[in-house]
Amino acid sequence: MSFDAAYQSQKLKSVGTRPLRPDGVDKVTGRARYGADFNMPGQLVARVLRSPHAHARIVRMDTGAAEALKGVKAVVTAADLPDLTNGDAELFAVLDNCMARTKALYDGHAVAAVAAIDERTAKQALKLIEVEYEILPHVVDVDAAMVADAPILNDELFTGGVDPKPDTPSNVANRAEFGHGDVDAGFAEADFIVERSYKTEQTHQGYIEPHACVASCNPDGTAELWVCTQGHFVFRQNCADLLGLEVSKLRVTSSEIGGGFGGKTHVWAEPVALALSRKAGRPVKLVMSRDEVFRASGPTSATSIDVKIGAKADGKITAAMATLRYSSGPYPGMWAELGAMTSFACYDLENVKTVGFEVIVNRPKVAAYRAPSAPMAAFAVESAIDELAQKLGVNAVELRIKNAAREGTKSSYGPVYGPIGIGPTLEAAQSHPHMSAPLGKNQGRGMACGFWFNFGGQTCSDLNVNADGTVALAVGTVDVGGSRASLSLIAAEELGIDYKDVKAVVADTATLGYNDMTDGSRGTFSSSMATISAARNAIAIMRARAALTWDIPVEDVYWEDGHAKAAGTKYGNLSPLSVRDIAAESGNTGGPIAGHSELVADGAGVSFATHICDVEVDPETGATSIIRYTVIQDAGKAVHPSYVEGQYQGGAAQGIGWALNEEYIYGADGRLQNSGFLDYRIPVCSDLPMIDTQILEIPNPNHPYGVRGVGETSIVPPLAATANAVSNAVGVRMSHIPMSPPRILAALNAERD
């Protein structure tokens, strides 16, 4: 059935309200089951042996003693995960990352795994595995990896995207360029130019729940996987591909997920657990420790970025340019490319050019982290815009408003914008009381904008009308932050029934068609589209049932306010039939009533935000405290405003952590030194003030209710907003994130000298 996704302005009854979430009671009583909360009869415990070296050839491995240990049921190495990737380089990287084949490429890289009857035995077995390493020179810094004599990680990697194709291997995997116009001409026109280099350190998504799964391979060739994931259908595909299973024989159930933020879009342990289960013939539970989470999962790119912006004296930007170098771990990624695309997306520019370099280093394979790559690019660009405003002697908000992209602007990465929210968020910031509140001694205010593409993608939902008129909604996008509540609101809205009569669940891979992951801020956007579509299909059936009941043509039955109604005056004596009425009779009118939907949710609608941050910096210690923070973001339409606010606040908090304290710290030996929450310092409750939010609603023309994704954009501005605030407080431009106290104090000392 065709589905019209176009926005229709209408008064909404359920959407926009704030009902209680359906999974709330389970989560406050401890009953909700996460990755590690599931067990199977006869289950074994798995542990993974990891390389202590940043870069080393695996010369020899002997697992004999471990296999011989009483209680050990399986030991696997790369030999148990043969290469079935058939030339697919991306999939091979996933395989090699799950279990190192010839070389360990970072501290924490898995080299073997055991399954044993209990944890003690599994740990003991790990100690009995002998690995002989030939230690190779390593490189962990993004700039250092690019220099001519840097240790080369992969002799078969030649820089892509350059002409002619290079004939010597390099750690630069790819070069990507975006933009339009003539930047040289633009800079020649400029009255003022700012130019600066920036660095950001590597951070981790920092979800509180470590990766966990239970894998069970059966003797009949079928397999089951219980796992905390952002995308069980994608995990099914990856695991089936890597293990040589038919997709239909692997059933993946997504547990409740204890945070992901992009970090659970990627298989690490799951193929290993399946391989262990296959070898042992028993279910296997694999739970990562926190140390393993930091050393071997996540993280985001470390970056090094140069920005140059020129403007006329009146503030009109004439040219903008950025060169972005992003580390991707030991395998090629597309992170710099995303950074290059997003850099100047907030602005209407005649001449713009961005170049991104993907750089491989001896660090864990980079995974998406909430608007991946955009926060670092925004840090550099929004810092430069702030500096430009100071140089021009104009207000930083006004400068941004003057140059902001609008409907019809050709974006710096190509497409022409439809109706967008950058201008409105800036204007809201300008008139927000926060912007004019007085500042005290050692305090500074900063602001910054952010952009994210948002994503739609493949989506499939089932909506079943029960005999009592309540509705069971099965969706295939994992609920990471309250989407079951949002999608229940959507179903209630479309059907015209009460929110409490809808119960949404996340279905497993055996009971619903394929769904892309919950990433790209797509969960509520795409599944709401599929839910509306499924509801409309169910309504079509209910209209037909009403027509049958009344014995009138179906064309004469219309749907309004949750009821089938007979059109016109000729059926004047027919009372409308509610969902409940129709459902009660369904056994006599053709059986169960259901609406199904499968679609590709196009037109996700780009998202913009503007943040305002006040800080106080202790000039004697470099300690920064956030004293006030405001998030203004376009949601298109906020389906459940409480959880939209939650996304805004959570993204801001993560960005503040990144800006101030979070970073991967490596020793000279290439080993990660802070693989725990003690020294990987995410914000604690006493670090933050209340985070004010303002939701703007500029409808997305490509969604029936105007919904846009809201999950990611909120992490884009905080690095720059915080850096601008600190720079304004101390009078020194901070160009290295995180702005830890030693970095701030060193910058202040340098200024004083």
Partner 1 sequence: MSSIAVSTTINGDDVEYLCQADETLLDVLRNRLGLMGSKEGCGTGDCGACSTIMDGRVVCSCLVLGAEAQGRSIETIEGMANGSELHPLQTKFIEHAALQCGICTPGFLMAAKALLDVNPEPTEEEIRFWLAGNLCRCTGYDKIVRAVQAAAAEMRGEAA
Partner 2 sequence: MRYERPETIMDATALLAQASDSAFVLAGGTDLLVKMQNDDFEAELVVDIKSIAGMADVVETDDSFVIGAAVPCAALGEHEALCAAWPGVVEAANLIGSTQIQGRCTVAGNLCNASPAADSVPALVAANAQARIAGPDGIRTVAVEDIPTGPGKTSLAKGEIIEAIVLAKPTDRSGDAYLRFIPRTEMDIAVVGVGVCLALNDDGAVASVRVALGAVGPTVMLCPEAAETLVGTKLEDAALEALAAACSAASTPIDDKRGTVDFRKQVAGVLARRAALIAFERAGGSQ
Does the protein bind partner 2 through residue 674 (CB under 8 A)?
Answer: yes
Residue 741 binding result from partner 1, partner 2, none, given CB thresholds of 5 to 8 Å by partner type: partner 2
Using CA of residue 76, residue 80, residue 81, residue 83, what is the dihedral sign?
Answer: positive
Q: How many residues bind partner 2 (CB under 8 A)?
A: 29
- Which amino acid belongs to residue 537? N
683 binds partner 2 (CB under 8 A): yes
- What six digits make up the tokens of 584? 């009660």
User: Exposed, middle or buried: residue 677 (CB in 10 Å: 0-12, 13-18, 19+)?
Assistant: middle
Binding partner at 665 among partner 1, partner 2, none, C-beta below 5 to 8 Å by kind: partner 2
Binding partner 1 (rule: CB under 8 A), the pick from 78, 396, 530, 691 is 691
- Cβ of residue 97: shortest distance to partner 1, in angstroms? 23
CA distance 117 to 98: 23
Binds 653, which of partner 2, partner 1, none (CB < 5 to 8 A, cut-off by type)?
Answer: partner 1
Q: Which does 515 bind (CB under 5 to 8 A by kind): partner 2, partner 1, none?
A: none
Which of 6, 28, 684, 690 binds partner 2 (CB under 8 A)? It is 684
Distance CA 320, CA 698 (A): 28
**Nearest residue (CB) to partner 2, 123 versus 570:** 123
Q: Which two tokens stand for residue 455?
A: 């994503």
Report whether 635 contacts 742 (CB < 8 A).
Answer: no
| Residue type for position 169 | P
| Sequence letter at residue 268 | W
Residue type, 748: L
* Residues 6+ positions from 11 with CB-CB distance below 8 Å: none
Residue 127 C-beta: closest distance to partner 2, Å: 8
Pattern 658-687, partner 1, x by CB under 8 A: ------------------xxx---xxxxxx
209 is a site residue for partner 1 (CB under 8 A): yes
Q: Which of 633, 623, 746 is nearest to 687 (CA)?
A: 623
Stretch near partner 1 under the rule CB under 8 A, chosen from 86-94, 146-154, 639-647, 702-710: 639-647
Asked if residues 323 and 175 have their Cβ atoms less than 8 Å apart, the reply is no
Instruction: Give the residue among 109, 139, 136 at the shortest CA–CA distance from 361.
Output: 139
- Span near partner 2 by CB under 8 A; candidates 402-410, 578-586, 671-679, 690-698: 671-679
Q: Which of 481, 482, 622, 651 binds partner 2 (CB under 8 A)?
A: 622
Residue-by-residue DSSP string for 257-313 = -S--TTTTSS-SSHHHHHHHHHHHTS-EEEE--HHHHHHHS-----EEEEEEEEE-T
User: Residue 693 burial (CB < 10 Å; 0-12/13-18/19+)?
Assistant: buried
Minimum distance of partner 1 from residue 440's CB (angstroms) = 18
Comparing CB distances to partner 2, the nearer of 24 and 689 is 689
Name the one residue in this structure whose structure tokens are 């969960």: 523
Contacted entry of partner 1, partner 2, none for residue 650, CB cut-off 5 to 8 Å set by kind? partner 1
Q: What is the DSSP string of 326-369?
A: EEBTBS--SHHHHHHHHTTTTB--SSEEEEEEEE--SSPPP---
Tell me 71's DSSP state.
Answer: T
Least distance between partner 2 and beta carbon 274 (Å): 24
- The nearer residue to partner 2, 67 or 618, going by C-beta atoms, is 618
148 residue type, one letter:
A
Distances from the Cα of 525 to the Cα of 106, 457, 705, angstroms = 37, 10, 10
For residue 238, what is the DSSP state?
H
Comparing CB distances to partner 1, the nearer of 432 and 545 is: 432
- Nearer Cβ to partner 1 (160/646): 646
CB of 317 to partner 1, least distance (A): 32
- CA dist., res. 232 & res. 40, Å (int): 19
Q: Does 417 bind partner 1 (CB under 8 A)?
A: no
| Residue closer to partner 2 (CB basis): 199 or 484 | 199
The Cα 221–Cα 223 span in angstroms is 7
Q: Is 645 in the site for partner 1 (CB under 8 A)?
A: yes
Give the one entry of partner 1, partner 2, none that residue 570 binds, where binding means its C-beta sits below a cut-off of 5 to 8 angstroms depending on kind. none
499 binds partner 1 (CB under 8 A): no
- Contact letters for partner 1, residues 64-103 (x by CB under 8 A): ----------------------------------------
How many Cβ atoms are within 10 Å of 684's Cβ, its own excluded? 9
Nearest CA to 46 out of 217, 230, 301 is that of: 217
Is the Cβ of residue 54 or residue 371 nearer to partner 2 in the bound state?
A: 54
If you ran DSSP here, which 8-state letter would residue 404 be given?
B
Q: How many CB atoms lie within 10 A of CB 95?
A: 21
Residue among 25, 467, 621, 689 that touches partner 2 (CB under 8 A) = 621
Spatial separation of the C-alpha atoms in residues 122 and 48, rounded to whole Å: 9
- Per rule CB under 8 A, is residue 148 in the interface with partner 1? no
Among positions 649, 700, 724, 728, the unique one binding partner 1 when judged by CB under 8 A: 649
What type of residue is 574? L
φ, ψ dihedrals at 580, nearest 5°: -60, -45
- For residue 685, give the DSSP letter: G
Task: Give the shortest CB-206-to-partner 2 separation in angstroms.
Answer: 14
* Under rule CB under 8 A, residue 740 binds partner 2: yes
72: tokens are 């050990």
Q: Is 306 in the site for partner 2 (CB under 8 A)?
A: no
CB closer to partner 2 out of 185 and 665: 665
- Residue 500 interacts with, from partner 1, partner 2, none (CB under 5-8 Å by kind): none
Residue 168 beta carbon to partner 2: minimum distance, rounded to whole angstroms: 36
Judged by beta carbon distances under 5 to 8 A according to partner kind, the member of partner 1, partner 2, none in contact with residue 261 is partner 1
Give phi and psi for 287, each to the nearest 5.
-125, 125
210 binds partner 1 (CB under 8 A): yes
Binder of partner 1 out of 481, 523, 699, 717 (CB under 8 A): 481
Does residue 642 touch partner 1 according to CB under 8 A? yes
Binding flag, residue 166, partner 2 (CB under 8 A): no
Cβ neighbours of residue 349 closer than 8 Å, sequence gap 6 or more? 181, 317, 319, 320, 403, 412
- Strands 192-200, 736-737: pairing is parallel
Binds partner 1 (CB under 8 A): choice among 5, 7, 14, 21: 21
Tell me which residues in 125-144 interact with partner 2 (CB under 8 A). 126-127
CB closer to partner 1 out of 287 and 609: 287
Residues that bind partner 2 (CB under 8 A): 123, 126-127, 289, 620-623, 625, 660-661, 665, 673-674, 677-679, 681, 683-687, 740-742, 745-746, 749
Residues that bind partner 1 (CB under 8 A): 18, 20-21, 23-25, 27-34, 36-37, 120, 205-210, 256-261, 287, 289-290, 480-482, 642-643, 645-646, 649-650, 652-654, 676-678, 682-688, 690-691
